[in-house]
Each structure stands twice: as structure tokens, then as C-alpha cells.
Chains A and B, each alone.
Chain A
Amino acid sequence: MRALLDASLESINEVLLGKKYQVRLALACLIAGGHLLIEDLPGMGKTTLSQTLARVLGLSFQRIQFTSDLLPSDILGTSVFDKDSGHFEFHQGPIFAELVLADEINRATPKSQSALLEAMEEGQVTIEGATRPLPSPFFVIATQNPSHHSGTFALPESQLDRFLMRLSLGYPAHAAEKALLMGEARRELLPRLPAVFDHAQLQAVQAEVRAVRVTDALVDYVLRLVEATRNQPQFAWGLSPRGSLALVAAARAWALLAGRTYVIPEDVQAVLPAVASHRLRERADTAGQGGAALVQWLLHEVPVL
């Protein structure tokens, strides 16, 4: 199993150059069973990352381009009258895939956003009175432009909370960008990538993540972190219990990727920026961009031992 994880990391890193930390986080997010939000400027490789992940994990892939005129039925599907049978027949929308890429999610209206987000939480969709299960596994990777870009509807906090992690890829390093320019087009590499996992193996990995050991001492550290977000004055609000569960789940996945069967505080610290920064807001900062600074404060000040 370890070999599979290493191989998949290697494959993704071949496509996405110089982003080992983000790639590892993204993989950890998916094997922990969480949804991923990638926030970055256009053209930074958000789509490439999600396509590569789908490919490597052997998942069926659908991409929904969110625009301001997107309707919920464009995501979920709709019933169409079939005049041969005389019945309405349901046509599945793009959400019925194992990995859904919701591209530029914050360009759609809140109504369409919530259609997707409800599906993410429930694992099923209800259309015209009928509840239809989504495939399993089911992952959503959403991308968004930084919210101060024009023509965006920022995701409210309640919906941000449903993403296990939020990543931003950032500009590539000098050497990586050079290799990118010299090498083949990344999109062309994709079809040639072999799938590393099949469904059974993916399920096994997810089960293994859940079996990673978390001791009292570690939970105490997580609790100290969470309590700090709730008690310290600079935090506008604290982490929710869903947030602390997400933190432990992500730390478990990170530990497994590091080849350990137990979580150490450094695992928690590695995933904390991705897990917590979109769930926190500085009291002094009404625009809601300042979670990263708070997370740095947590990493420095909350005692590990």
C-alpha cells in the first residue's frame, strides 16, 4: 500500500512540477475522504492538479465550469420527456461522477453553489422528489479565484467549512518553471498517465487512514489548538467540532503518507494551514482574508508538549 501511495505521488509530481507539498496535501485530503478547495489565480495549474488526481486514483472525472448563469439543474441533471416511452426520463448531470471538478465555483450564484455543496455534504442528491445516491467514492475539487476578483460570489463560511482543506498552489519556483517551459505540454502528459489505484485499493487506503493511531498526548495538542482559537481575542470565532475532526482526519492521512501508523504533532502542524486557515478569521479583518496569519500564530504559540 505504501508503494502505491509513493507511486501516485511520483506520478502527480511528474505532471505538476515543484509543488510537492501541495500535491501531498491534496492527496492526503482525498485519501482522508475530504473535499478540496483550491484557491488561486487563473492559470496556476488548478485544473491540471485535479485531472491528474482523478487519473492517478482511477476515478471517473467530470468538470463543471461555474458561470454566473449556471443553474442547479445544470449540475444535478434534469428529467426530460421521452415521447417514445411516454415517461419523464432522468438525465444525470455532471455531478454523477466520482471526482467532480467545480471550476471557478465562486463565479456561480449562491443558489447554484449550494446545489453542489449540499451534494458534497449528503453524498446524495434529491431531484424532483427522488433521492439519488452519488457514486462512491465521491470527491469534489473546487477551484476559486481569490474573492476580490471581479464577478465573484464569495462562499459563505458555512460552506467553506465543508471543504476539508483549502490550498493555494502559488507561482512555481524558478527551476520548476524552466522545466515546465522546456518540457512537453502538461495536458498532453495526462492521457498517458496510468491509474495507480483501483476502487478496492482506494477504499483500503481510506480504511487504513482511519486506522492510524492517535494517542491521548496528540489529542491534547489538537485540543489546545482548538481551544486557543476559541479563547484568544484575535480570533473572530473558533474552530467548529467539524473543524477539529477534519484536523485529526487530515493529520492521519498525512502520517500515512509519511509512512507512519501513528500521528505526531508535526503531522498536525503540516496540515493545519490547509485545514484551518479557511475556517478562521481575524477579528480585526472584516474582509476575511487573514486566516493564514492566525494559523502561523497557532503554530508558534500553542505548546506542543
Chain B
Amino acid sequence: MNVPRAGLTWLLIGQALLLVPLWWQLPPWLLLFWLVCSAWRIQVYRMRARVPGRGLRTAMVVLAAVAVFFSSGRSFGLETAAALVVAAFLLKLLELNTRRDAWVLLLLGLFCQVVAYLFDASLPWALYSVLPLAALLAAMVGLQGGQGERLGPPLRRAAGLLLQAVPLALLLFVCFPRIAPLWSLPLNSGQARTGLADVVAPGDIATLAQSPELAFRVSFDGPPPARRQLYWRAFTLERFDGRRWQQGGLSRFQAVQPWQPVGEPWRYRVIQEPTDKPWLFALDVARSTAPDVQQTQDYRLQRRRPVDQPLYYSVESWPQVVRDPQLAPALRQQNLQLPATGDPRMRAWASDMARRYPESEALVAAMLQRYHEQDYHYSLRPATLGSDSIDGFFFDTRRGFCAHFAGAMTFALRAAGIPARMVVGYQGGELNPAGNYFTVRQYDAHAWVEYWRQGQGWRSVDPTFAVAPQRIDQGLAEALGADEPFLQGSPFSMLRYRDLAWLNTLRLGWENLNYGWERWVLGYQQAQQSELLLRWFKGWAIWVLPTAGTLTVLLLGLAVLRPWRRQVDRVLRQFLRFERLLGWHGLTRAPGEGPHAFAERAAQQLPGSAQAIHTFAQAYTRQRYAGEAAAPATLAVQLNDVRRSLAGRTGPQRKPLP
């Protein structure tokens, strides 16, 4: 096929545009591969090169597959599959012989476009994806030819087609059933995501505080709680090895004690960015109706699978609920665990405090008092600590981040015989006034303490508040001293320039747009869909809509396909079988060859079957053209005679050479 110039140009432009968003996910050599394939295709177009033969094409396919396999680290994940699809898309350029090849190529392109959404479905990329889509459509128009050499007309036609498709796309977006995937490939993200980790050493959260990345967004039904109430729980840390805090086995896997809601709940919806971890973020004490989510023993919300894509869920939280009024012995033991040795000064100080304050509440108050009154500093640059890290921090350096304060306090409470644990999550968030929702970023990461008291259950206490109350009331930027610039590692983050009012307004507006995109477009899943449709079509109408939809599709299908006009011609079907049978013996009928002439030719070539062939052909002709009653059964019998007379022959008979 001579590819029209406009079609080829748009095709190459479309490929280039398509490769841009996929670039970060694909092995770099694919770009080289694309350059080779497209240069080759251009040379073919200019008649300077030949289309590669079957052998070369096969070799290239094998080469590409092997290269993808090796560059993917020999594991088959989503990136590998995407690389394979893209490689196929690029290779197909060299096999552009028929119009059908062109269709296959364009469909592959559209598929690659969808694949790109798997990696990044954010608003900018979604807007960007209109470009490759338009280019591919223009290529489709251009490949039809007849539009001349110019590039403009195909693009205009493509844009028109896209515009016409918008209403249909909207309708399908709203109404088309969201079906859960039948299978899925693991998204093997090589790069670790920024966020909370399972194991926390005191400095980890300080590192996290340098990152302005989005963690999640929350919008409340009704007025939001005060900022100092926004403690977003992720999980708890119970095991301390003298250096780092880890999760306890019980809290991770055991289901929570049943509890009853008390008082008025907060209702809110969360859109969580992917973390590759199973936990969700919620205020205490939370309950979510999202599928697959359960609450474990430490009152966290946990999902069965890791959150590897933006997740939308709604939560209700009852802050007044009493948690675990009775503590099981195993739990008690877990929350009193301390390393066998180390930090002797802290142990001594704690037991001294326990003697002085037998009531746990008084003990906690005394500790907070110490944090508040003595010379403790809130800092993102804590001093390095030696082997007895708790002692070193609490008595010597006294500079630290929330995890230091919380860690030391938990240690002290446990040493004083009070069950306690560290809670990790986020605190606060930025209220976007335009959209009335909170944006919580990585630098809002926080750690605080929970201790247990007989009859009152777990109680939260935040030692950071005693040291730096402005961290809780206003946020991290205000809590840091003048010598510690906010977001030092991200000089281009717009968050650094919050003091510029117009820039801040712009930033909040853009965030608002993104939030709407995530909430209304990406977050529009099965549950939201049925909720929306239920709201639109209350009661009986919920049945009318699918029925009407099905009927419409059915009627459209009938109008287009008109099955009643395609009467099943069983006589003709027998002849087609006859044709296929002779085809195996090397006789093919040209479209313009009549049945009689074909039978004549067949009889000459297959003299052994001439009789049977004539009988069949005559019977067929009489039934089809002489008005005889259709008797496909008779034809089938006669066809069998032909088949039998041909038995034993394999392949076309060759004439002996003269």
C-alpha cells in the first residue's frame, strides 16, 4: 500500500506525542527503536528503501521482545507489558502493507494511549492526551487518502470527529457499568514512594518533612473540626529495639474489639494518593463502608491490597468512643515491651516519676510539663544520637522532631509501667477555601503517643504540642525556626512562596481543579456511579434506565445489522462448503466465476471426481436458479460423494512435466 503522505506524517507525530508520557516508564532504548522504525518507514515512503522481509521482521520482533525482557529486570509487570505493547506499536510501522495493517496500527496506538493512563491519570496528562488522540485520528483520516497532501484537512476532520464524540463519551462515562478488572498486573514501581514507612527511626519523619508531595485530600460534610483535632491515624508502632520503632504483630493482623458509636460523628471523604501500603488515613475512631477495608486491633483502617492507585473512600469518625476499656494480657504485654538493656538514665528517671505520680494522668501531665518548661527544641535537624538514643535525646541534645518526643515519651511511660504506643500519621492539613477541603502533604507527617488507662481505654497525647504548639495550630512552616528554611530540598515548590498572595491564590485554584478531577472523574467508581444513578432515577426508574439502554442498543443493532435480511441460505452454504473442499485441492474460485464454470474447471482438473462434481453442481444450480425446492440435505449427500471421491488425494495434483 502506498501510504498517503498526510496519513504517514500524522501517524509519526502521533507516535512521538504518545511516547512522551510513557517515557518515564519505558526502557530508554525504545526511543532509539522508534527512530529506526520511523526513519525506515520514511525511506520506504521516499522509495529509497524496501519494506523489510518476513525474516527480518520476525528477527526484529524477537529482538524487541528479548530486549524488553532483559530491560524489565526479568519480571513481568505492568511496565513490561506496556513496553511490549509500545514496541509492537512501533514495529507495526514496518509492516504497513495493507489498509488493514493501518487499522491495526491505529488501534494499537489508541491502546497505548489507554496504557499511558495506567501510569498517570492526572489532569495535565489527561488534557495532554487529547493531542496524540487527535494526531492518531488525523492519521486515520489521512490514511484514507483523498484529502490531498496537506496536513490541515485531516486534522480538521479529526477535530470535528473528536468534538462529535464528546457527548457520547460523557454519556458512556456516566452510564457505562464500571466493571472490576478480570485480571491485573502488579505495578512494579521500582522507585520507592515518598510516605510513611513500616519502620520508623527517629530521623525518618524529619526527612519526610522536607517533601511537599501530596499525601491525601479530605472534604468534610458540614463544618470541619478544628485544626488541632485533625490527627490522621495511619498505624501504630509497638516494638522498640533500642533504635527503631516497628509495628507489633497483633495490631497488624488482629481484628478490632467491637465498639459502639457514641455522640456525633464527623463525616468526610478522602482521596488518597498511592502509597503502595495497605493502610488508609482517618480520624479516631473511624469506620468506613469502602469495600475490602477492615479495622485492625490498633483502630487503623486497613485494606486487603496495597493502595497503588488514587483511592477514594468515605469515612465516619466518632471521636468520643472509648477504645479498649479492658486490655487483653497479650496486648498489655506488647505495649509494655522494652529492650532488655539500654537507656539506663531514662529507665531510672521513669521509675522515679512513677513513684512520685502513681496516677498515670498525673504522670503524663508531668512529662508534658517537662517538655514545655525545659529547654526542648522542635527542629528538622536533630543532632546525631549514640547507642542509647532515648537517653541522648531526652537528657543531652534535647533537639528533635515529633518522633523523638513521642518515642521518648512512649519509652518513659512503658518504663513507668503504663501501656503506651506511638501512633504515626499526619497532623493538620491546608484548608483550600475555594473547594472547602483539606490538603495533607508529606510534610504534615506526624507521630504522637497513646497510653492506656483502666476503664478509659486508650488516650491520645501529643508531646509535640507541649514543645511547639504552633506546629499543631498553624503548621510546620510556622513551627520551624528562622534558621531552618521550609522545604529546603524543593526550591521550585510553589509552597515555598506562600507569602506571595497572588501566587498562593493561583496555586490553590490549580489544586482545586486537580481535586475536582480526582474526586469527580477518577473517583467516579462503581459505588459513586450507582449512587448517582440512584439519585437521578429514584425508585422504579432504576430498572427503566438499564432496560431502556438495552432496548436502545438492541434496536440500534437491529437497524444497523438487519439480521432478517440476511436469510440463512442453506443452499448457498452447501456450495460454500463445496468451494472450501475444492480449495483444499488447489482450486479457488474467483469472485466473478460462476458456479457452473467453476464446476467445469474442477471437473477438468480432478477427472476422478468429475462425475460427483457435476452432479453436485447441477443439483445446486437447479435449486438456486431453476426454482426447484431447496433441498440442502440432498446437496450435503452429494457433497459427501465429492468428498469421498477426493479421498486419498493430498494437495493439488501436479501435472507431469512434458
Tell me which residues across on chain B come within 8 A of A215, comparing CB atoms.
624-627
Q: Mark A283-298, 1 if CB is under 8 A from B, else 0.
A: 0000000000000001
Q: Which residue of B lies closest to A300 (CB)?
A: B592
How many angstroms from the CA of A302 to the CA of B592 in the assembled complex? 5
> Which of A262, A298, A300, A302 contacts B626, CB < 8 Å?
A262
Cα–Cα distance between A213 and B625 once the two chains are bound (Å): 8
- Given the known interface contacts A266-B597, A305-B572, the answer about A261 and B626 at a Cβ–Cβ threshold of 8 Å is yes
Q: Does A195 contact B (CB under 8 A)?
A: no
Residues from chain A with Cβ under 8 Å of B483 in the complex: none
- Indicate if B657 sits at the interface (CB-CB under 8 A): no
What are the residues of chain A within 8 A of B575 when measuring CB–CB? 305
8 Å CB interface, B2-22 against A: none
For the complex, give the distance between the alpha carbons of A213 and B596 in Å: 17
Q: Check A193 for interface membership: any CB of B closer than 8 A.
A: no
- Closest residue on chain A to residue B626 by CB atoms: A262
Q: Count how many chain B residues have C-beta atoms less than 8 Å from C-beta atoms of the other chain.
A: 17
The reply to whether the CB of A301 lies closer than 8 angstroms to some CB of chain B is: yes
* CB-based contact A301/B591 at 8 Å: yes
CB of A299 within 8 A of CB of B626, answer no
User: In the complex, A169→B537 CA distance in Å?
Assistant: 78
Please give the residue numbers on chain B whose beta carbons come within 8 Å of chain A beta carbons, in ascending order.
Answer: 572, 575-576, 590-597, 621-622, 624-627
Contact B626 A304 (CB under 8 A): no
Q: Are B572 and A264 in contact (CB under 8 A)?
A: no
| A151, B627: Cα distance in complex, Å | 51
Cβ-defined contact, A266 with B626, below 8 A: no
Q: Which residues of B contact A303 (CB under 8 A)?
A: 591-592
List 19 extra interface pairs beyond A264-B594, A301-B591, CB under 8 A: A213-B626, A215-B625, A218-B625, A260-B626, A261-B626, A262-B625, A262-B626, A262-B627, A264-B596, A265-B594, A269-B592, A298-B592, A300-B590, A300-B591, A300-B592, A302-B592, A304-B591, A305-B572, A305-B595
Point out the residues of chain B lying under 8 angstroms from A217, CB to CB. 624-625
- Known interface pairs A300-B590, A301-B591, A302-B591; A266-B596 also in contact (CB < 8 Å): yes
Enumerate chain A residues within 8 angstroms of B593, measured Cβ to Cβ.
Answer: 304
Within the assembled complex, what's the spacing in Å between the Cα atoms of A211 and B390? 113
> Smallest CB–CB gap between A218 and chain B, Å?
6
Q: How far is the CA of A217 from the CA of B627 in the complex (A)?
A: 10
A218 CA / B572 CA spacing, docked (Å): 13
Chain A residue, CB-CB nearest to B621: A264
A166 CB → nearest B CB, Å: 21
Cα separation A265 to B625 with both chains bound (whole Å): 9
User: Would you mind naming 20 contact pairs between A and B with Cβ atoms under 8 Å apart?
Assistant: A213-B625, A213-B626, A213-B627, A215-B626, A217-B624, A217-B625, A218-B625, A260-B626, A262-B625, A263-B625, A264-B594, A264-B596, A265-B596, A265-B625, A266-B594, A300-B591, A301-B592, A303-B591, A304-B595, A305-B575
User: With A and B bound together, what is the CA distance between A217 and B572 in angstroms?
Assistant: 10
Chain A residues at the B interface, C-beta cutoff of 8 Å: 213, 215, 217-218, 260-266, 269, 298-305
Q: How far is the CB of A68 from chain B (nearest CB, A)?
A: 43
B618 → chain A, closest Cβ, in Å?
A: 10
Q: Which residues of A contact B592 (CB under 8 A)?
A: 269, 298-304
Asked whether B590 lies within 8 Å of A264 as measured between CB atoms, the reply is no
Q: Which of B591, B594, B595 is packed against the most chain A CB atoms within 10 Å? A: B594
CB distance from B566 to the nearest CB of A (A): 13
| Least Cβ–Cβ distance between B587 and chain A, in angstroms | 15
CA distance A301 to B596 in the complex (A): 17
Question: Which residue of chain B has the shortest Cβ distance to A304 in the bound complex?
Answer: B594
Question: Which residue in chain A gives the minimum CB-CB distance to B593?
Answer: A304
A301, B591: Cα distance in complex, Å: 6
Roughly how many angstroms separate A260 CA and B575 CA in the complex, as a whole number? 21
Report the Cα distance A265→B575, complex, angstroms.
15
Contacts A300-B590, A305-B572, A305-B575 hold; do A265 and B595 have CB atoms under 8 A apart? yes
Nearest Cβ in chain B — how far from A44, in angstroms?
29
**Contacts of B625 on A, CB cut-off 8 Å?**
213, 215, 217-218, 262-265
Residues of chain B within 8 A of A302, CB atoms compared:
591-592
Smallest beta-carbon distance B78→chain A, Å? 46
Once bound together, how far apart are the Cα atoms of A301 and B593, in whole Å?
Answer: 9
Q: How far is the CA of A37 from the CA of B405 in the complex (A)?
A: 112
Q: Which 4 A-B pairs have the closest CB atoms?
A: A262-B626, A265-B594, A303-B591, A266-B594
**What separation, in Å, do the CA atoms of A300 and B592 have in the docked complex?**
4
* Distance from B459 Cβ to chain A, minimum over Cβ atoms (Å): 85
**Chain A residue with the shortest CB-CB distance to B622:** A262
Considering the chains assembled together, what is the distance between the CA atoms of A269 and B593 in angstroms?
9
Chain A residues with CB below 8 A from B590, complex form: 300
CB contacts (< 8 Å) of B572 on chain A: these are 305
Give the distance to chain A from B585, nearest Cβ to Cβ, in Å: 19
**A305: chain B residues within 8 A (beta carbon):** 572, 575-576, 595
A263: chain B residues at CB < 8 Å are 625
Q: In the assembled complex, how far is the CB of residue B623 from the closest CB belonging to chain A, in whole angstroms? A: 9
- Chain A min CB distance to B214 (Å): 59
Measured in the bound complex, the distance between the Cα atoms of B306 and A271 in whole Å is 76
List of B residues within 8 angstroms of A300 by Cβ? 590-592
Which chain A residue has the least Cβ–Cβ distance from B575? A305
A260 to B596, CA, bound (A): 13
- B626 cross-chain contacts in A, Cβ below 8 A: 213, 215, 260-262
Residues of B within 8 A of A213 (CB): 625-627
A213 to B624, CA, bound (A): 11
How far is A293 from B473 in the complex, measured between Cα atoms in Å? 91
- In contact, A269 and B591 (Cβ under 8 angstroms): no
